[in-house]
Structure 1
Amino acid sequence: MSALDAFRLDGKVALVTGGSRGIGRAIADALRDAGAEVWVTSRTAEGAERAVRGTRLKGATCDVSDAAQVEALFERVGDVDVLVCAAGLSSAGRASEVSPGEMRRMHEIHVLGALACAQRAHASMKARGGGSILLVTSVWGLAGQPGTLPYGAAKAALAHSVKVLALEWARDGVRVNGLAPGFVETAMTAEVGEPVKEKLLSRVPLRRAAEPDEMAGPALLLCSPAGSYVTGHILVADGGERAR
């Protein structure tokens, strides 16, 4: 197999939670272009339908924080070879003002939701001889950032999960990796406002935000046979910010 052929996913089935928009959508498009049959999810039927209209993607409705919906999702999709957990929400606020409910909400979506999907995918992958799981975390889960406690703490837990799942599931042929984007131009990050955005980008050596498509290449590496000897790794794509 050539190096370029190793990025192909012909005949594989991929599921991207949160794949209806933003980073998840960019990754879903890349997996599709690599030859996979790709399912994407949205929390609403309208969002799922809109995401796949005029494309070769398949859509499904799922709130990953609801275990029953996760089970129904996998019953519909069937066996998967690649799982990308990109579903999530943002949350901002000073630590002194954060409520237990907000901490719980972020944990349920980013950590418990991803874990439920990963556990379900692992069972299928183990029975079929292996597969690849990618958890989309964040650089804010790797280092402290004021005003991001609920979101950052959840992403930190997700980053830890990458390591543990990779160690436990390697024997089953299931690779588990993480992708930690920096500041990416999405509808979710648009909520921070220009002053905060400018401050954040001032610390980025490349001096700009990333586009969602710039997360697709790193994700494809980790999901495809090109990354067959990579597991337990968190690939940071942050424009050089963590190099400081």
Structure 2
Amino acid sequence: MNRLDGKVAVVTGAGRGIGRAIANALHAEGATTIATSRASADPSFGAIEYETLDVADEQGWARVIERVLERHGHVDVLVNNAGIIAYDPLHELSMADWQAVVATNQTGVWLGMREVVPHMITQGGGSIVNISSIWGSAAVGGAHAYHATKGAVRNMSKNAAITYAPQNIRVNSLHPGFIGTPLTDAQAPEVNAYVVSQTPMGRAGTPEEIAAGVVFLASDEASFVTGSELVIDGGYLAQ
């Protein structure tokens, strides 16, 4: 449908699940799409370009964005999707696991925005979509590090939206509910069943439903949308 013709988009955590669906959707809408993940180059992406990136690596971000600019001259859309989770309760989580979750979920988002914003200022604007979670606004037992980082993403997005609105850089957060992905497939079945049972629509969402929201926020259709939280959760947070 070409809603993103002429735009260059970078997506993190795009090796599978939500990130893979986002990269596919942006590409289908006409964007030149660069998918990134920590894995080695993946030929299955086809026409979608691929870069290896650990989002917690400052030099890695500089290298990837430099390559994108060398090839395409601009970067119009950044989707900070990469994320990990730890389930240990607060009093049992190790320092190493805490730091790993913060590095990927929070520092990675900050580094991505810091790297692309100067280029977006120079080119006259852009769109940043930061993937948070319903757990950035509500809580369940355990997973406190995930809650903390997704809440940070929510508020960092608002701050960046206000800061860079004069430069025509839109920054929004997207908050998925329970989505069927390899990440949730690895959770205990009883945990998944409980969250689905608490979702008014009574089912898990799909990665493609999240990707559709990203396409909207990335496109010019959302030209007056910044600092917003797009919740796609089957009604969970409406309760």
Instruction: State the 1:117 CA deviation.
Output: 0.9
Contact kept? 1:140, 1:148, Cα under 8 Å: no
Q: Please report how far the alpha carbon of residue 25 of structure 1 lies from its aligned counterpart in structure 2 after TM superposition.
A: 1.1
Secondary structure, in 3 states, of the residue corresponding to 1:188? helix
- 1:210 aligned partner: 205
* Segments of 4+ moved more than 6 angstroms: none
Q: CA deviation digits over 1:208-227, x for unaligned, max 9? A: 10111111111111110010
Residue 21 (structure 2) aligns with = 26
Give the deviation of 1:175 after TM superposition.
0.1
**SS of structure 1 residue aligned to 2:5:** coil
Residues 22-73 of structure 1 show CA distances to partners (whole Å, capped at 9, x for unaligned) of: 111111111111111000001021xx32441xx2200000101011111111
Partner of 2:68: 77
Cα deviation digits, residues 163-205 of structure 1 (max 9, x gap): 1000001111100001100011111111212111111111101
The answer on 1:175 being equivalent to 2:170 is yes
Per the TM alignment, residue 100 of structure 1 is displaced from its structure 2 partner at its CA by 2.6
User: In structure 1, which of residues 139, 145, 152 is the aligned counterpart of residue 147 of structure 2?
Assistant: 152
In the alignment, structure 1 residue 112 sits paired with structure 2 residue 101 = no
- Measured in 2, the distance between the counterparts of 1:200 and 1:87 equals 22
Identity of aligned residues (%): 38
Give a deviation string over 1:88-135, Cα, whole Å, max 9, x none: 112112122122322221111111111111111111111000000000
- Deviation per CA, 1:143-163: give whole Å up to 9, x if none: 111111011111111111011
Distance in 1 (alpha carbons) for counterparts of 2:166 and 2:51: 31
Q: Matches of 1:189 and 1:31 in 2, distance apart?
A: 23
Letter in structure 2 aligned against 1:57: I
Asked if 1 retains the 8 angstrom alpha-carbon contact of 2:15 and 2:39, the reply is no
- 1:49 and 2:42 are equivalent in the alignment: yes
Indicate the residue corresponding to 1:91 in structure 2: 86
Distance in 2 between residues matched to 1:69 and 1:51, nearest whole Å: 22
What's the TM-score once normalised by structure 1's chain length?
0.93
Structure 1 residue 242 corresponds to structure 2 residue 233: no
Q: Is the Cα–Cα contact under 8 Å of residues 131 and 173 in structure 2 kept in the other structure?
A: yes
Q: Give the number of equivalent residue pairs.
A: 235
Query: Does 2:217 match 1:222?
Result: yes
In structure 2, C-alpha distance between the alignment counterparts of 1:190 and 1:152, rounded to whole Å: 19
d(CA) in 2 for partners of 1:211, 1:240: 14
Query: RMSD of aligned C-alpha atoms?
Result: 1.2
TM-score, normalised with respect to structure 2: 0.95
Does residue 68 of the first structure (1) align with residue 63 of the second (2)? no
Which segments of 5 or more consecutive residues in structure 1 lack a partner in the other structure? Answer: none
Partners of 1:95 and 1:202 in 2: how far apart?
Answer: 25
